[in-house]
Structure 1
Amino acid sequence: MRNRIRGTIVVALALALAGPASAAIDAAVVVRMRQANFDRLLSLHKSIRNELRQARPNGAGVSRAVLAEAQLAQQIVAWFPAGSGPDARVRTDARRGIWAEPRDFQAKAVALNGALGQLDAAARSGDPGRMRAQQRAVADACESCHETYLSRF
């Protein structure tokens, strides 16, 4: 799965750099790749949330899932290259602000990565209360970006 996502990223970025002749096709590929990556992030987030509902969550398991989530989250900004937004005439729930306000979008991505780093530290501590609090901080970071940049939020 990880290799397929990486392969899709490489193909999408190569197509995006190919030029305007294939812009509509590029945008469609980029949007599909972006959606697949966000689906994977959501799946990891849900697995962490479900583990933290246990009376004694497995910190090592949470840490593994957090590291996988962080690896994807570090790439979020790259999933939104120029020409892959609503103006590309492909269905996307991404708002124009991602491209109009790139510094804010990047700052929100950095905040998510910081929250994931704190969640990993909490998971390695083994303290369930700390893990739960940091998981909420990760969810808040996601929500902050979605409120601003996701049209269906």
Structure 2
Amino acid sequence: MTHPKTISLAALGMSAALVAVALAGSGTIAVAASPAASAIATRQANFKKMGGAMKVLKDQISSGAISKPQAVAAAKTLAATGRAQAGLFPNGSGASAGVKTDALPAVWSNRAAFDGQMKGFIAQADKMVAAANSGNLDAVTAQFKAVGGACASCHKQFRADT
């Protein structure tokens, strides 16, 4: 008959050996991120994409010339990413998730207003796609201001200034 403490110690020793092998092989151990942490990381990455797309458009406006292919690609990034963002604020993905986020609690406590802001942004981004497709500098400039206004309006209510 095997003693229970002997089996437990043997199992503990084997677990430690496996961890040591894993660390020696890669230097890290993969840990699955929580759904909230994944949502926060994805939405933060998406906001960076959106910022990059806005920079492409701003640089073109500042230069006085629109490169239609680049402007259309940037506008499509805004529209597609805006649509994706709407689903990346599930309950529990605020600061209480233990991951740094600039999303204010108002996102969840005033969800109807937040969702309305997201829909407004998407509508403006879709109009930017049309403006970019025109290749018209004045149309892109005007719509750039409208998209920026949609961003600012949402940030004012739902994003911490950090």
> What is the TM-score normalised by the length of structure 2?
0.74
Matches within 5 A, 1:17-32: 25-32=34-41
**What letter is aligned with 2:90?**
P
Distance in 2, Cα, partners of 1:42 & 1:120 = 16
Q: What is the match of residue 47 of structure 1?
A: 56
Partner of 1:68: 77
Give the distance between the partners of 2:91 and 2:144, measured in 1 at CA: 31
What secondary structure sits across from 2:142 in the alignment?
A: helix
State how far apart, in whole Å, the 1-side matches of 2:135 and 2:98 are.
Answer: 47
The percent of aligned pairs where both chains have the same amino acid is 28
- In 2, Cα distance between the equivalents of 1:122 and 1:30? 31
Q: Secondary structure at the match of 1:78?
A: coil
Aligned to 1:21: none
Q: Which residue of 2 aligns with 1:113?
A: 122
Find the structure with the greater CA-based Rg. Answer: 2
The answer on 1:137 being equivalent to 2:146 is yes
Matched, 1:128 2:140: no
- Give the letter aligned to residue 32 of structure 1: A
Aligned-pair CA distance for 1:25: 3.1
In 1, Cα distance between equivalents of 2:128 and 2:158: 24
| In structure 1, C-alpha distance between the alignment counterparts of 2:36 and 2:133, rounded to whole Å | 39
Q: CA deviation at 1:126?
A: 2.1
Mark the runs of 5 or more structure 1 residues left unpaired by the alignment. 1-23
Greater shift in the superposed pair: 48-57 or 93-102? 48-57
- How far did residue 87 of structure 1 move? 2.3
Q: Please list every run of 5 or more consecutive structure 2 residues that lacks an aligned counterpart in the other structure.
A: 1-32
| Aligned equivalents of 1:43, 1:146: Cα separation in 2 | 17
Alignment RMSD, CA only? 1.6
In 2: Cα distance, 1:34 partner to 1:114 partner: 19
- For 1:100, the aligned partner's letter is S
Amino acid at match of 1:53: S
Q: Does 1:36 align with 2:64?
A: no
Tell me the number of residue pairs that the alignment of Structure 1 and Structure 2 aligns.
130
* Post-superposition CA distance 1:99-127 (Å, at most 9, x none): 11111111111111111111111122222
Moved over 6 A (4+): none
